[in-house]
Chain A
């Protein structure tokens, strides 16, 4: 869109001061009004389609055809409408017509829920009356919440260190394999394909425990314990080590992701640099520390951010364990949020916990944006 389609000279001129205000108004209107009108039109169409007795598949087909076609038509129509504008506004307005719907969707599905959650966090269990800071007082005094905050910190730090560290080690070493690199990497990458809940259940084959008298132990760890002549251990009740055992599951799943991304970054380092370092007499360790790691630092940062956010959100692994998370001290923040919001039916507390998570992500995001800017400056 850099070249005005019309080739009209006016569009390239700086707009006059009076035109600026009009242009701004037109931009605003087109960005907000047109999508709203579009949605209203589609809404009416959906209402028509909501007939309970109609064939479901038929409804879906019609909905997609009308919907997709409708949206396409809307964009086309809006584009035509922009064409009809005075030439000097045209290219100023056009981008907003296309960005507008995205802004509205962002507002409805991101901004509104955030504001609503913040408000709910100051309300009571039913989300009706304001109760001031009560919910936050609960968040920072309830013993289970404090354990959850402590544990989540543990998850963030340990899972990130181990997943990124092991991933980096694998990526570096796999790079040197003469044969079977793809196979080795696939094996490590494979667990990523499993859902968290599925992985957590799968790890029961390792942590499962049955006391004597209740049949054979099917857990690998207890198989080893019995093989060594020891008594079986209820691993998931073993505070505080049970937290580490659960973190192992996430490390197992996420290492593959770190490895693949880092491996790609390592392969992108020009061979000349490494060759030059070697010719200058650098040891392999020095090459790794002084050449490879600094070269892929931006990638490491991205992977680390991903791990931190993932660890912060951990829920399923803890939730599906066959044990009482509260009594075993394995609670985490996201799990508390689900429990309070949905299972205990306390909207206020659930929202307050959600906000803790939300606020905790902010420093990571700031760090990320800052790093990104620095990188851009370097270019």
Chain B
């Protein structure tokens, strides 16, 4: 018996290896060669996305309710490990449409793996620019072709505050950067605590919340055009415009008693824990800058509009709004897929999604007004985003668009070093980030 078992082990191992091989081979097949000619209607459209399951269910139900009589079915497939799944299935050529939050990876990961351009799909780019704003649509542009349709947008330039205490103390929402700084000084004087709560720790991604700060300030000091040049590396990372933004950022962070725990501690404070002192009684801090998702990290039982509220990060030298978002990227050029895209991004359907309480999606479309949203935070965000994108002052999160070695590498690291080592380290930090920019 033992002999037989021994005899079986080697073939079994061989077998496992071989099975591993073939499945890899299966995944790595020629990823649907982006044919310009349309394929047959297969009757189903798979939409792989990174939504929370409840949100995806709500969107699915809404879709079926809105379009009951189509000659194809749509499956909104929410995946917890979306990033990995999308890449594997793109390489395997088994994707229809993905709703991609990591829009910066379109060129590197998806165009070489069979993403179909909007031009090939026959989607009108000019109309899309008008509907979704040119700056957002341009995010999905690779070598003159467009590969992404903006499908979701979220506001990054938000400053959160403890509304009940804030009102009781008689403070007013600042409308300029100077007023914001004055407010911080006033809070420190009145309350005896630092005004700002800041935390940049995020495991292996530690430092990213600091890049959002930098981008917010960069956009409002250098302006959208220089911001675009910065993203595309048409100006160096150690350009005076960038140094200026970083200095202003440093002025807030390094000012004695302005940040809870001090700037050098911020890289050790988890970004999700950072706002919690705001809900102490009395508050341990009064201001927290973070994107729209952060209220999910607020203590249980706190209520928007009562315990906390937010105002947009105020203009500095000029107006500007920072946003992040998601794009629909298509891999199969078939009539039902195009029909799905047109229906999905239509103002009617996008507006209807705002009526779902389980949805936290904001439409990038200018035609979807604040009235569409049942959630007041989404409605207010939507109004600000639409105004900014239509005025051309809205810009996409820079670090998400820069090459990974910078945008999710040296930029994060540089900001952490800057916080830890203080204002004098700035020149070295910016030089290091500039040196890390990949040469083509």
Residues of A in contact with B (beta carbons under 8 Å apart): 39, 42-43, 46-47, 49-50, 60, 63-64, 67-68, 70-72, 75, 101, 105, 109, 125, 143, 209-215, 234, 236-237, 319-328, 339-340, 343-346
Contacts and interface: CB of A to CB of B under 8 A. Distances in A.
B15 A68 contact: yes
Contacts of A67: 11-12, 14-15, 18-19
A236 B270 CA distance: 13
B12 A214 contact: no
Contact of B405 (A60, A109, A324, A346): A346
B122 interface: no
A126 to B, nearest CB: 9
- Looking at chain A's contact residues, is the secondary structure mostly helix, strand, loop, or mixed? helix
Contacts of A215: 273, 276-277
6 contacts: A50-B22, A60-B19, A68-B15, A210-B269, A237-B268, A344-B405
B5 to A, nearest CB: 12
A63 B23 CA distance: 12
A209 B268 contact: yes
Contacts of B285: 213
Residue picked from B12, B199, B264, B405, most chain A C-beta under 10 Å: B405
A214 B274 CA distance: 7
A345 B404 contact: yes
B394 interface: no
Contacts of A50: 22, 26
A261 to B, nearest CB: 25
Chain B interface extent, by class: 35 or more
B207 A324 contact: yes
B314 interface: no
Interface of B: 7-8, 10-12, 14-15, 17-19, 22, 26, 108, 193-194, 199, 201-204, 206-207, 260-262, 264-265, 267-270, 273-274, 276-277, 284-285, 403-405, 408-410, 412-413, 416-417, 420, 432, 438
A238 to B, nearest CB: 10
A322 B270 contact: yes
Given A211-B262, A344-B404, A324 B267 contact: yes
Contact of A320 (B204, B274, B404): B204
A71 B26 CA distance: 22
A345 B19 CA distance: 27
A235 to B, nearest CB: 9
A128 to B, nearest CB: 11
A236 B204 CA distance: 13
Residue picked from B17, B276, B413, most chain A C-beta under 10 Å: B413
B17 A214 contact: no
B19 A46 contact: yes
Given A50-B22, A67-B11, A68-B15, A237 B420 contact: yes
Contacts of B18: 39, 42, 46, 67
Given A68-B12, A71-B14, A46 B22 contact: yes
B261 A327 contact: no
Residue picked from A236, A344, A345, most chain B C-beta under 10 Å: A344
